[in-house]
Structure 1
Amino acid sequence: MTRYLDAVLRRASVPMEAEPFEPDWQDQPRSHKIYPGAPGFPLPDEVPHSAAPLGVALLARPPEPRAGAGAGFTVPLLGGMLRHSYGWLSRRLQVTADPGQGGREAYAHAAWARGSAAGGGLYPCEIYWVCGPGAGPLPGVYHYNQPAHALRRLAAGDVSPRVREALGGVPTAGRQFLLVTVRFWQNAFKYGEFSYHCVTMDLGCLLRTWQTWAAACGIGLRPRLWYDEPALDRLLGLDPVTESVLAVVPLPWRGAAEAGSDGPAPSRAPAPRVAAPLPERSRTVLRFPAAEAAHLAATYDTGPPPGPEALAEAAGQEPDPPAGEQPDASASAPAPVPLPAPSPLGAGVAEALAARRSSFGRFSAHRPLSAADLAALLQAAAAGRQLRADGDGGRASSCPAPALTRLAVFAQHVAGAPAGLHLYDSAAHALVPLPGPAPHPFLQRSYTLNNYNLEQAAAVLVVLARPHAVVAAAGPRGHRLLNAEAGAVAQAAYLAAASLGTGCGAALGFDYEALHAALAPAVGPDTWPLLLLMAGHERCDRPRFDASLAPNRPGGGPSHHPHLSPSPRTDRTGRP
C-alpha cells in the first residue's frame, strides 16, 4: 500500500502506468448495473417537512444510531435518501471547460445529475439493501436501480445474520444494512492505476451524504469499513478483483429493537443464490496491477480497526494541555485572523443535493467572495471530517474518532479576509497565516488539467493529511478510511456552496509534489495535499439547462430558498 501511495503522490512526474494509457470513450462501461428479469418495486420518495436545514444537519455532531418506536428509517425515508444521494435527479446541459462534455446534447450521451459528487469517469458505487425481518418488504437482498429509483430483489431469505457475522462482535442497530460496492472498471477505464485512489474518495462522498440526510431526520448512521470483506463479496456473488463491498452501513429501523452480538446466530444453510447482472458492456476490459494490488491488500486485511489514540497520533494531533495551562506559543508565530460569523446554510438537505454541481471553468474574480461565505465553507468542510467510520476501535463512541485531515486555504478574492496561504483552525474559527508562495501563478502552474482557471477562484481549499502515517497505524484499509474522509470533506463543501449560491469544484489533477514542497516548511514533511476544493462566484453569462426528474409531491413545489433555482423544472440561464 505504501508503494501505491508513493506512486499516487508522484504521478505528476512519474506516470503510474507502465505503458501509455488513453481512455477509449467509445468503449466505456455502463453507468449502472442492470439485473434483467429481477422482480422489484418502485421506491417512494419522502422528504420530511420537519427535517432540519443543512446548517443543522451538516454541522451538528451525527447522532448515535438508535432504533425504536419513534426513530429510525422507514421504506419512504430510505427511498428519499437513496434518490437524493445516488438517484438521477435531473438532466443537465451547460457550457463548461470540461472536454468530456462533448455530445451531451444527444440523449444517448446525456449527463444525469446526482446528489453525491464523484471524482472519476462515472459514478462507480452500487448500493445493495440486505433487508431483514420487520422492514416491510420480503427479506432478502435488493439492488438499487438508480435510473428507475426502484429496488430489484436479487435473492429471497433473511441473510442479515451473515452481515452481522461479517461485522464481527460490533453491536449494530437492527437487521437492515446498506452495502456499498465499487465497480473498479467504471472508473479505471478513464483513470487507470489512479482509479482506486479516486473511488475511495467517491465512497466518502456517498457516506457523508447519507449521514447528513439521516441527521436532518434525527437519525444517526455509523458506516463500517472493517469487516470480513470476502464473506460479503461472496454473499453478493462478486469477484473482488472487479467489484467489492467497500462499506457497510447498519440502518436503524423504526419500530425495531436493538440487535447486537447476541442476535440470532447465522444460518449454516447455503446463502441464497444472487441473480446475475448483465455482463460488462465494454468489449475490452484492462487490468491495472498496482490499483488491484492495493485493493486486494485491503480486502484481505484481517487486522482490527485502529483505536482513536493510534489515529490521533497518525494524524499528528498535539495532546491537549493540562487544565489551566496555556499552550506554548512562539513570540514570532503569526497571530490568527478571526473569521466572521459564517453565513447561514438555510437550504434543506434535499434542496442542496439537487442543486449541487461542479463549476468547471465558470469561476469569475469580478465579484469577490465574502468573508462570511468563506467562513461557512470552511466550517462545513471541517464538519465533513466527522465521518466516524471505525475510528473507535469497535468500541462505543464515547471516545470519538479524531479527524485525519486538516484544511489549508489559499485566499485570493475574498472581501474582508487577508490574501495568501492560511491554515484553518476549526476550534478557534480563525485563519492562521502560513509562509508560502503567492497563490497566483503558483496554483495554476501546479494544476495539470485545463478545465479550471484557479486564479479566478476566490479561494482554494487544500485537504491535508499524513497518508503514510495513517496506513502505518491502520493497515491497508487506512487508505480507504483516509480517502473516505477526504471525500466527505468535499461533499460537505459542495453542499454548503449549493446553499450559499456559490460555485464549487474539486480536483485531483495537480502536482502533489509541488504543493508538498511549498507547504512542508509550514505543516511538516510528512503532510501531503490530497484534494483541492475551489470556491467562488461564477460568471453570469453561461447558459445552462436543468430538467428535474423529481416527482411532484403533495404540498411541495419549486424551492423558494433565495440562493437556489426558483424552478428546477424550467430552463435556467444561471443569471443572478
Structure 2
Amino acid sequence: PPTVATAAVPAAARPTATVPAARTSGDAPAGAADAVGDGASGGPSPSGAGPVTELRVRYPAFERSRQVRRFPAVTAVHRAAAMPTRPAPGALADAAPRRWPGDPVALPEPALASLDRPLSTVLASRSSSFGRFRRPPELTAAELGTTLAFAAAGRTHPADADSVADPVAPSPAGADPVALPPADAAPLGSRTGTAEPHPAGITASVREPGDGAAAAPDPAGGPGSGGPALTRLWVFANHVDGLATGSYAYCPRRHALLPAGAAPEGGMSAFLQQQYFLTNYTMGQVGAVLAVSGRLDAVLDAVGPRGYRILNAEIGAVAQRAYCAATAQRIGCGAVLGFDNVAMDEALGLTGTDERTVLFLLLGRHPDAVADLAYRL
C-alpha cells in the first residue's frame, strides 16, 4: 500500500513527493534550486549525464464540500498509520493465519470460463445485492468455489509489506494438519508479478503463470514479491447445492474447504439471522456467507500502526475481487459489517485465538427480472 494517507489530512500537512523534472540545457527552474542534485541521493547520476533536477510537488485532494470539517482524532490516526518506513523482510511472517486442521472437502475446479467477461463490463455492472437475494435456484458449489478462488488470489496484493512465503505454523495439539503441496507447486492465484487482469477478461489473475511454475518470491519485497497472506476466507454454507450446511475454512493451496463447525442448532438460516443486526437482508434467501478474518494484534506487533492500513488493504482487495467474480458469474454479492463478530468467531472455532472476523460477504441469486434505477445518469 502507499505509505502516505491523504484522506482527511490537510494539504499543508501532507508530505510532498519528489519527481524528476523535464530539463533542458541551462539552469534549473526557478524555485527548484534546493532540489537539484547529481543523483537521487546527491551523487553522480546513473547515466553520467550531469545533474538531475527534481521538483517537490504536492497532490491536493479533490474537495467538493463547501465547508470542510476535520476531526483531530481521525487526522492523528491517519498520520500514525502513514509510517514511511518499510518493514524488514520477514517482519510479517508470524502474522499470517495459522494452519487449520481437518479433512479437506473438495470443491469443483474454478470455472474460469464463467469469469471470461470484459473487466470494464464487470466493473460497470457490479453492485451490492442489498436484500435482493431470492432462492431457488440455489447457489452451486462451483460458483462458490470460483468466487473463493478469485477472491483469495487478491490476498497477496503487490506491496512493500513483506517478502517471504506463507509460514508453516504449528497445528493445534492432537490435530493432523492438512499437508501442503510440494514447494514447486504453484498455488492458485499466486503472485506472478502482474497485478492487472487480462484486458480481454478477468481470468488471468486466477490462471497459473506461464507453464504453471510458481513465481519465486522476491527477496527484496515489493511488487511481485511473495509475501504472506494476512487474511483467511471462511464459509458459512447456508443453501449451497453440492455442499453440506456448516462452516468451513477455505484452503486456497488445495482449493478445498476445511470443516470448522457443524450446522447450528435450529439451522444455519436462523443462526445467521439472529446474529445479523440489520434488516436489509433475509438470511433464508442467502446461499452462503463468506467471512474475512485476520490477526490484527499480530500485524500491529510486526509493523506498528501501519499494520492497520496493510491489513485493510488486503481485506479490501479480497472484497473487491469477490464482487467481480460474483458479477462475472451473474450471482449476487453484498458486503456487510452487521454481524455479531463474537458469535460468528465462536461458530468458526476462533475463540481463544487472536484471529478475528472483520468483514462478511453474502452470496446468492437474484431474480431474473428486477426493476432498477439508473441513478448514475
TM-score normalized with structure 1 length: 0.45
Which of 75, 88, 105 is the aligned partner of 1:337?
Answer: 105
Matched-pair contact (CA < 8 Å) for 1:359–1:504: yes
In 1: Cα distance, 2:40 partner to 2:352 partner: 42
In 2: Cα distance, 1:378 partner to 1:317 partner: 19
Q: For the structure 1 residues 278 and 535, does the alpha-carbon distance in structure 2 shift closer, same or farther, using more than 3 Å as the test?
A: closer
In 2: Cα distance, 1:268 partner to 1:377 partner: 45
Specify the alignment match of 1:281 in structure 2: 66
In 1: Cα distance, 2:54 partner to 2:91 partner: 37
In 2: Cα distance, 1:493 partner to 1:304 partner: 29
In 2: Cα distance, 1:413 partner to 1:276 partner: 45
> Which residues of 2 match residues 166-565 of structure 1 at below 5 A?
224-226=1-3, 229=4, 238-240=11-13, 267=53, 271=56, 280-282=65-67, 285=69, 287=71, 289=73, 291-299=74-82, 301-307=83-89, 309-317=90-98, 334-344=102-112, 345-392=115-162, 395-396=220-221, 400-435=226-261, 438=264, 439-519=268-348, 521-522=349-350, 525-546=353-374
In 2: Cα distance, 1:377 partner to 1:526 partner: 26
Matched-pair contact (CA < 8 Å) for 1:464–1:527: yes
Q: Tell me, what secondary structure is at the counterpart of 2:325?
A: helix
Any unmatched runs of 5+ in structure 2? 20-38, 164-218
Matched-pair contact (CA < 8 Å) for 1:437–1:518: no
Q: For the structure 1 residues 287 and 473, does the alpha-carbon distance in structure 2 shift closer, same or farther, using more than 3 Å as the test?
A: same
Matched-pair contact (CA < 8 Å) for 2:154–2:317: yes
Query: How big is the shift at 1:282?
Result: 4.3
In 1: Cα distance, 2:123 partner to 2:279 partner: 27
In 1: Cα distance, 2:293 partner to 2:374 partner: 34
Identity rate of aligned residues, in percent?
39
Q: Tell me, what secondary structure is at the counterpart of 1:389?
A: coil
Any unmatched runs of 5+ in structure 1? 1-223, 251-258, 319-328, 550-576
> Which residues of 2 match residues 13-162 of structure 1 at below 5 A?
none
Deviation track 1:465-520 (CA, whole Å, cap 9, x = no partner) reads 1011111101111110100100000110110111100001111233222222333x
Q: For the structure 1 residues 297 and 432, does the alpha-carbon distance in structure 2 shift closer, same or farther, using more than 3 Å as the test?
A: same
In 1: Cα distance, 2:240 partner to 2:234 partner: 15
Matched-pair contact (CA < 8 Å) for 1:312–1:403: no
Specify the alignment match of 1:102 in structure 2: none
In 1: Cα distance, 2:250 partner to 2:374 partner: 35
Deviation track 1:64-84 (CA, whole Å, cap 9, x = no partner) reads xxxxxxxxxxxxxxxxxxxxx
Q: Tell me, what secondary structure is at the counterpart of 2:11?
A: coil
Residue correspondences, number: 288
Deviation track 1:323-344 (CA, whole Å, cap 9, x = no partner) reads xxxxxx9xxx642110112222
Specify the alignment match of 2:187 in structure 1: none
Amino acid at match of 2:273: Q
Query: How big is the shift at 1:436?
Result: 5.5
Amino acid at match of 2:238: Q
Specify the alignment match of 2:193 in structure 1: none
Matched-pair contact (CA < 8 Å) for 2:133–2:332: yes
Q: For the structure 1 residues 281 and 377, does the alpha-carbon distance in structure 2 shift closer, same or farther, using more than 3 Å as the test?
A: same
Q: For the structure 1 residues 378 and 546, does the alpha-carbon distance in structure 2 shift closer, same or farther, using more than 3 Å as the test?
A: same
Matched-pair contact (CA < 8 Å) for 2:319–2:335: yes
Query: How big is the shift at 1:373?
Result: 0.7
Query: How big is the shift at 1:317?
Result: 4.4
Query: How big is the shift at 1:297?
Result: 1.2
In 2: Cα distance, 1:391 partner to 1:430 partner: 27
In 2: Cα distance, 1:335 partner to 1:273 partner: 54
Amino acid at match of 1:287: F
Deviation track 1:380-403 (CA, whole Å, cap 9, x = no partner) reads 111121212113369256751111
Q: For the structure 1 residues 377 and 524, does the alpha-carbon distance in structure 2 shift closer, same or farther, using more than 3 Å as the test?
A: farther
Matched-pair contact (CA < 8 Å) for 1:225–1:481: no
Matched-pair contact (CA < 8 Å) for 2:350–2:356: no
Amino acid at match of 2:66: R
Matched-pair contact (CA < 8 Å) for 2:292–2:360: yes
In 2: Cα distance, 1:273 partner to 1:334 partner: 52
Q: Tell me, what secondary structure is at the counterpart of 1:428?
A: coil
Q: For the structure 1 residues 498 and 476, does the alpha-carbon distance in structure 2 shift closer, same or farther, using more than 3 Å as the test?
A: same
Specify the alignment match of 1:192 in structure 2: none
Q: For the structure 1 residues 548 and 287, does the alpha-carbon distance in structure 2 shift closer, same or farther, using more than 3 Å as the test?
A: closer
Q: Tell me, what secondary structure is at the counterpart of 1:434?
A: strand
Matched-pair contact (CA < 8 Å) for 2:97–2:355: no
